[in-house]
Structure formats: C-alpha cells, structure tokens
Amino acid sequence: MGADLIVVPKPTNPWHISQMILGHVIEHPYYMDISIVEKLAEVRGVQKATPQAYAAKLELVAACPCCPTSFSYLIGFEPMSDFIVEPWLRGSSKKLSRTDAVVGCNVAALGTNVVIFDQVLETKQVLEKSGTGLDDMIFITLESLYWLAEESRKLPERVQGHPVLTIAQNQISAVLIRVEPGYSVSDVGTRIKVENMDLRVIYPHTLGQEARERLLSLHTIFLTSNGIMWGLLVVMVGTVFSLIVHERRREIGLLRAVGATRRWVFKLIILEVTLPVVFAGALGILGGVFILRVFGEVTAKSLDVPYLWPDPLYIVGLIASGLALSAATGVLGAIYPAFSSSRMEPYDAIRRGE
C-alpha cells in the first residue's frame, strides 16, 4: 500500500484492513479525530503521515442511468499530505475538486460520471488493474467524503438502496505513515503505541499474510503435483517411445546397415520424440491459456484470492519456459530408447526385428 505503518483506533481489527485490501466489504465503524495526524507527524522517525477515511458501501449502487456500476469502499484521502494514491495517478491528486473521483478499474471508465447520494462525481483518473480490492474502490478527497456523508443524511435511509454514511466532519479511519530512512519501522511503531495508548499500530507487511499463506499452500500443492506428474510423464514418454523403437528395430538396423552411425540414430530418436512432445506442450499451453481466460477469475473468486494477469513479457517468458520444459521432457524421455537403439548391432536389430 505504500505505507510503513497504519495507525487506526484501538478497537479496529487488523483483519478488517486485510479484508478491505482483498476487496471484501466490511463495515468500518471506528473513527478518530483528524487532529491525531499532526500529533503522529511529530513522532520521531515519522517522515510523512496522511489521513484516510473509509466508508463501506454494502450494496450495489447505480451510477448514471446508462452505466450502472458498483464499488466496495468510498475512501477519503487528504491530497496535500497523500503519498498513497498519488503514485498511482498520471497527474497530481492535489488538483482534485470536491466533485472529482479517482476510481478502481472495475468501477467506471475515465470521464464518466458516478452518482452517489444524488451527487454527480466525475471520474478524473482510473487506477491500473491491481487484482486486489483497490479495483473496486472510489477515492475522493476527505472534503468530498464529509460532503457526501452530509448529503446521504439528507436523503431518507435506503431510498436509493444503500445506508447513510455515518462518518462525521473531521473524522478519519486511519493514518498512514512513512518512516524516515534510517529509522526502524518497528521502533517507530512502538514509539507511537507508547505515546498513544488509544491507537493500534498495524504493520502492513503482515496484512497480506493470509492471502500469501493461502497462495503459498496452493502454490506448493500445484508445484508438488506438477512435479510428480512431470516425472510420470517423462517415464511414460520413455516407455511409449521404447515400445515404438522396439517395434522399429529392423528399420533402425537397416539404416545402420546402409551407413547410419550410432550418433545419427541417437539424434534421430531424440528428434522424433522431442518434436511431438514440444508440439503437445504447445497445445497444452494454448489449452491452459484458454482455460485461464475462461475460468481464471471464477477460480480466483472461489478460492478467495486476488487475481491479476501477469505482465505480457512475463507471459512470453512463461510460454518459452513451458516449451523449453516440453523439449526437456522429450529429450529426457528419449534418452533411454535413443541410447538402447543406437547401441544395438545392426545384425541383431534386423534379426530381432524380423
């Protein structure tokens, strides 16, 4: 998230923050006064401190009539001190007006309007896809959030199918802190805790732990099963081609009789095995890409983990590695049949092949 520490009111459960990052909508009812930001900025070792306020939206909302949309959170931030949203923007967030919004890529397109509590917000920036909960969030200035909260209270509750925003003027949910270079993050965190007993300090690197652990166990299962399958595949390729070579002993003997060397026969078998295996590997990769395209997001949702397509260059690398692995499978599987067939005496090969 770009912060070294997140400071929240003591009752806030850190798990809520991690769920928010994963894109799960959870009510976030604990707020503190914005004046805490100045206090925290003065703690030794704090380089930057910026406030954020989170307002969960529990149900779908309609945007403009032609483009219905939904979002998970309205996040108010303070453009002057912000160092979290700014790096994701093409321009500066300092120019955002009360009716401007920065949205996650799943929320709305650039330039379109998002209507919340009868107020129209213009989409000034769309964030790059992150594969996390950020994709469903709307970022507005703190001033806009307080204004929208006031507007929500003017409307009869649930008239538009969403609850009233309970946040009051000058309330915030969290202060995000960047630690000065040379200072220990945990020391600064401890200092904040000692000086502010009513606050909770969250270390962001622990927030993704759950998702990481889930992915890691999934990754281990995939790697282990793939490793076992690959081993079996090499054995299977070797066995199948040993049988084929066995059936072709006479042909190999004939080739040796008319001048083929052992090395030539060895290379022939390696090539004959490797080519179809690489072709099959390419087909498998194509099939895999197709399945990922069709079922990737559904699978990610059912496993409850963030999902994002990797960089195209990385995908090219993966495809190349897949093909190289196929070739390696072919070569490894072919070594035994190639070796045994090239070692046969031509006369033996012909006689046994008859």
Partner 1 sequence: MIELQNASKHYLLGKNVVKAVNSATLTVNRKDFMVITGRSGSGKTTLLSLMCGLTKPTLGRVLLNHVDISTLSDSDLSTIRNRKVGFIFQFPSLIPFLTVLDNVRLPSAFAETKNDDRERGEELLERLGLDERINSYPSQLSMGEQKRVAIARALVNEPDIVLADEPTSELDETTEKEVMEIISEVHKESATVVMVTHSSELARYGSRHLRMVRGILSEK
> Can you give the binding site for partner 1, defined by CB under 8 A?
251, 254-264, 345-348, 350-351, 354
In the complex, least distance from residue 23 CB atom to partner 1, rounded to whole angstroms:
59
Compare residues 82 and 272 and give the one whose CB is closer to partner 1: 272
| Cα–Cα distance, 163 to 58 (Å, whole number) | 8
Residue 51 · residue 175 · CB < 8 Å: yes
H or E segment and range at residue 125? strand 119-126
In the complex, least distance from residue 248 CB atom to partner 1, rounded to whole angstroms:
10
Compare residues 84 and 350 and give the one whose CB is closer to partner 1: 350
| Cα–Cα distance, 269 to 335 (Å, whole number) | 8
| Cα–Cα distance, 4 to 10 (Å, whole number) | 18
Compare residues 162 and 248 and give the one whose CB is closer to partner 1: 248
In the complex, least distance from residue 254 CB atom to partner 1, rounded to whole angstroms:
6
Compare residues 209 and 261 and give the one whose CB is closer to partner 1: 261
In the complex, least distance from residue 259 CB atom to partner 1, rounded to whole angstroms:
3
Compare residues 98 and 267 and give the one whose CB is closer to partner 1: 267
Residue 205 · residue 14 · CB < 8 Å: no
Residue 18 · residue 192 · CB < 8 Å: no
Compare residues 142 and 349 and give the one whose CB is closer to partner 1: 349
- Angle subtended by helix axes 262-303 and 249-257, to nearest 10: 140
Q: For 110, which DSSP code?
A: T
> 32-33 and 171-172 as β-strands: parallel, antiparallel, unpaired?
antiparallel
| Cα–Cα distance, 354 to 65 (Å, whole number) | 80
In the complex, least distance from residue 228 CB atom to partner 1, rounded to whole angstroms:
37
| Cα–Cα distance, 178 to 88 (Å, whole number) | 17
Map tokens 């929500």 to a residue.
152
Compare residues 270 and 349 and give the one whose CB is closer to partner 1: 349
| Cα–Cα distance, 139 to 75 (Å, whole number) | 5
In the complex, least distance from residue 319 CB atom to partner 1, rounded to whole angstroms:
33
In the complex, least distance from residue 352 CB atom to partner 1, rounded to whole angstroms:
10
Structure tokens at 114: 């998002």
| Cα–Cα distance, 189 to 202 (Å, whole number) | 8
In the complex, least distance from residue 275 CB atom to partner 1, rounded to whole angstroms:
16
Compare residues 195 and 345 and give the one whose CB is closer to partner 1: 345
Q: CB count, 10 Å around CB of 221?
A: 10
